[in-house]
Structure 1
Amino acid sequence: MRVFINPGHHPGLDPGAVNRDYGVTEADIVRDVGVLVAEYLTAAGCEVKAVQSNNLCGEDAAYTNVCLTANSWPSDIFVSLHCNAATPAARGTEVLVYSRWTQADTLASCILHQIVDSMGTLSRGVKARPNLVVLNSTHMPAVLVEMGFISNADDCRMLVEQQDELARAIARGITDYIQERGE
């Protein structure tokens, strides 16, 4: 199974969401979690490619095109990692897909279940977001994992202090999906 990991945003260019109280950026958190997810998936026998780039679909030719790379590799599944942000009260984990009742929806449910069960985060569910380029421009089951809210103190502590546990949960969700498909 070929798994493409896309830590969102781009350190130094696009920090994504920022928590100034903790001095952390989404781009740095997802980069670090992405490295760990890739290590766990490789140990589980998956072929893994990870790309964190400011070029999702041809916007910035100076950087690797994320969707084109995933499609041409070709990946069997695509997982984009992010941190959500809103008001300080907003918390929890959600996984976004192009549309519900698809293989991506099954993958999203497996990942969400593992994160919520392992990390104790609030489940915000699986949600359809067909307007997201990483979901509508990839040719394989694709999900965008909003691991937690960087703007919420408790979620942010989890995102910073429990990266290994979070990465293991995401990797287990992916391998659950692979086993469910019998691959």
Structure 2
Amino acid sequence: MKVFLNPGHHPGVDPGAVNNEYGVQEASIVRDIGVLVARYLTYAGVEVETLQSDNLVGESPMYPEVCASANESGADLFVSIHCNSAGSAMANGTETLVFGLGGKAERAARAIQNQLVTSIDTTDRGIKERPDLIVLRHTEMPAVLVEIAFISNDSDVELLIHEQDTIARAIARGVTDYFCGEE
């Protein structure tokens, strides 16, 4: 079992969503959570490769290319980790995105979504199709993009800042739940 982890965006290059009131950037939050997810998956016996880069398919050639690296890795699952954001500070909750419903990617998304919603007690926004997202469209293995919570919502951003270990454990458990269901 091997997972390719992709904490979204790129600290110092592409901050992703930002909450200026709390002084946090998506790229930094997901980097820290990604380190923890990798640690917990490794403890569980899952091989992990991690890459955080704003170069998804060659648009920023001075950085490693995410999709090509994932496809060359031999990974059984691709997990991209993100914080959601919206114009309304009322938007909240967790959602997990897949290229299309049905199949292994949706099963992985449901396992991760269930663990996250239960562990951090967020609104369950469900599993959504997003065939337009590069990391879901250009990866060859089952791929999911986890929108942990809204960086633009006060309650959610508190979770993103203070519950990173709980979030990481939930994502790792979701991945191992998925792999256990595959056997």
TM-score range, shorter chain: over 0.9
What do you get for the CA RMSD once the two structures are aligned? 0.4
The structural deviation recorded for 1:73 is 1.1
Partner of 1:17: 17
- The answer to whether residue 98 in structure 2 is matched with residue 94 in structure 1 is no
Q: 1:100-130 deviations in whole A, cap 9, x for unaligned?
A: 0111000000000000011101000000000
Q: 1:43-71 deviations in whole A, cap 9, x for unaligned?
A: 00011000000101111110000000000
Q: Distance in 1 between matches of 2:68 and 2:108?
A: 21
Q: For residue 156 of structure 1, give the secondary structure of its aligned residue in structure 2.
A: helix
The structural deviation recorded for 1:172 is 0.2
- Matched pairs, number: 182
Partner of 2:85: 85
Partner of 2:156: 155
Partner of 2:168: 167
Q: Distance in 2 between matches of 1:127 and 1:29?
A: 23
Unaligned runs of 5+ in 1: none
Q: Distance in 2 between matches of 1:117 and 1:161?
A: 17
Read off the aligned partner of 1:162 and give its amino acid letter. E
Q: 1:124-177 deviations in whole A, cap 9, x for unaligned?
A: 000000000000000000000000000000000000000000000000000000
Q: Distance in 2 between matches of 1:155 and 1:162?
A: 10
Q: Distance in 1 between matches of 2:52 and 2:19?
A: 20
Q: TM-score, normalised by structure 2?
A: 0.99
Partner of 1:43: 43
Q: What is the percentage of aligned positions where both structures have the same residue?
A: 57
The structural deviation recorded for 1:75 is 1.0
Q: 1:3-44 deviations in whole A, cap 9, x for unaligned?
A: 000000000010000001110000000000000000000000
Q: Distance in 2 between matches of 1:73 and 1:158?
A: 32
Q: Distance in 2 between matches of 1:18 and 1:51?
A: 21
Q: 1:72-120 deviations in whole A, cap 9, x for unaligned?
A: 1111100000000001000000000000011100000000000001110
Which aligned pairs between 1:102-113 and structure 2 lie closer than 5 A? Answer: 102-113=103-114
Q: For residue 134 of structure 1, give the secondary structure of its aligned residue in structure 2.
A: helix
Read off the aligned partner of 1:33 and give its amino acid letter. I
Q: Distance in 1 between matches of 2:176 and 2:37?
A: 11
Q: Distance in 2 between matches of 1:156 and 1:50?
A: 24
